[in-house]
Amino acid sequence: MIHDKLEQEINAFPTAKLSVEHVCKDFRTRNGSVRALDDVSLTINEGEFVCFVGPSGCGKSTLLNIIAGLDKPDSGLALIDGVPITGPGRDRMVMFQEHALFPWLDVIGNVMFGLKQKPNLTDKERLEVAKYYLFLVKMDRFAHSNIHELSGGMRQRVALARSLAPNPKILLMDEPFSALDAMTRERLYGDIQDVWAKRKKTIIFVTHNVREAVCLGSRVVLFSPHPGRIREQFPVNLARPRNINNHDLADLSMQITSALKGYTAAESD
C-alpha cells in the first residue's frame, strides 16, 4: 500500500513544454539602465536538455530566473504548457552556482526541505523519497553529515538531489559546476546525464563553457551580450553518455566558439 504510493511518486515522470515569447528585461544601475534581455524568444520541448552558453553578462541567469519565477520580465511572456509563469513553483527547481544548501540542516534535512512543501505525502514517505534521491546521486552514505563536512562536488550532488526530490517537471541549473575542480566536474557530467536519462526531466543548464554545453546538451543556445540576445542554436546529435574529453565534441565546440567570437567581435567594432 505504502509501497504503491511510493513507487507512484518515484516513477512519475512529469515533463513540460516551455516557451519564452519576446521577453525583454532592463536593470537600472547607477550608470543608467542595462538591457539584460532583448526580445528573446525560445521554445523548449518536453524532456529536452538545453544548454545556454555565452560570455558573462549576456542575460543567461536573468532568463533562467524569469523561468524560475524569481524575476519578472518587463515585457513578453514565459509559459509552461501554455500557462504564464507568475512566480516560483514546485514544477521548476533551481540549482544555483553556489550550492545554497542550508548549513543548519544535515544532508537529508536539506533534501527533505523541498519535499515538505509537497502535500499528499506522509513524513515517512518523504523520508523514503529523500533517501531514494540521495542514492541516485550516490550520497546515501552521507545522509546525516553536516554540509560543511562535504567536498564541493558532494555538496553539488546533494543540491542536485534536493532539486530532484520534489520531482519537478523542469530542472534549472545556473553554472552549477563552475566552482568545482576539473576531475569532480567530469564525474558530475556523467551523473547529470545519468539523472536526465533516468528521470526524463526537461533541463536548462547555463554555462559559459562551450565544451561543457556540447557535452551535456541535446541543444545549445548561444547568447551574446549588450544587449542580451539569442544568436544561434545548435542541435547536438552525439551518442550518450558523452565524455567531455571525446574528440567528437571538438568539431561542434570549435564551430560554436568561432560563432561566439564573431558575435562578440562584431559588437566591439
Partner 1 sequence: MKRFLFSLMFFLLLILIWAGCTGELAFLGLSESLWSPFVLPSPGVVAQYLWDNTLNGKIPMSMLITLRRLLIGYAIGLVLGVPLGMLSARFRSVSDTLGVLALGLQALPSVCWVPLACIWFGQTEAALLFVVIMGTLWSVLLSTQNGMRSVPPIYARAARTMGAGPLHTLVFVTLPASAPFVVSGMKQGWAFAWRSLMAAEIYVSVVSGFGIGQYLHYGRELQRMYQVIGIMFIIILVGLLADKILFSPAEAWLHRRWGTDKE
Contacting residues toward Mg ion, per CB under 5 A = 61
The amino acid occupying position 87 is G
- What is the β-pairing status of strands 18-29 and 75-80? antiparallel
* Nearer Cβ to ligand ADP (27/113): 27
Please say which residue, 104 or 268, places its beta carbon nearer to partner 1. Answer: 104
* Cα dihedral 193, 198, 203, 209 in deg (nearest 10): 0
> Given the complex with ligand ADP, which of 54 and 73 has the nearer CB atom?
54
Binds 29: which of partner 1, Mg ion, ligand ADP, none (CB < 5-8 Å by kind): ligand ADP
Whichever of 53 and 236 has its CB closer to ligand ADP, that residue is: 53
Contact string (CB under 8 A) for partner 1, positions 115-144, x = contact: --xx--------------------------
CA atoms within 13 A on the CB side of 192: 34
121 touches, from partner 1, Mg ion, ligand ADP, none (C-beta below 5 to 8 Å by class): none
Residue 228 makes contact with ligand ADP by CB under 6 A = yes
Return the closest-CA partner of residue 115 out of 141, 144, 148, 93.
93
Q: Of 98-106, 132-140, 231-239, 252-260, which segment contacts partner 1 by CB under 8 A?
A: 98-106
How far apart are CB 8 and partner 1 at their closest, in Å? 20
- Contact between 27 and ligand ADP per CB under 6 A: yes
Does 56 bind ligand ADP (CB under 6 A)? Our answer is: yes
Stretch that binds ligand ADP, among 49-57, 95-103, 124-132, 237-245 (CB under 6 A): 49-57
Q: Does 148 contact partner 1 by CB under 8 A?
A: yes
Give me the residues that bind ligand ADP (CB under 6 A), please.
27, 29, 34, 36, 54, 56-62, 228
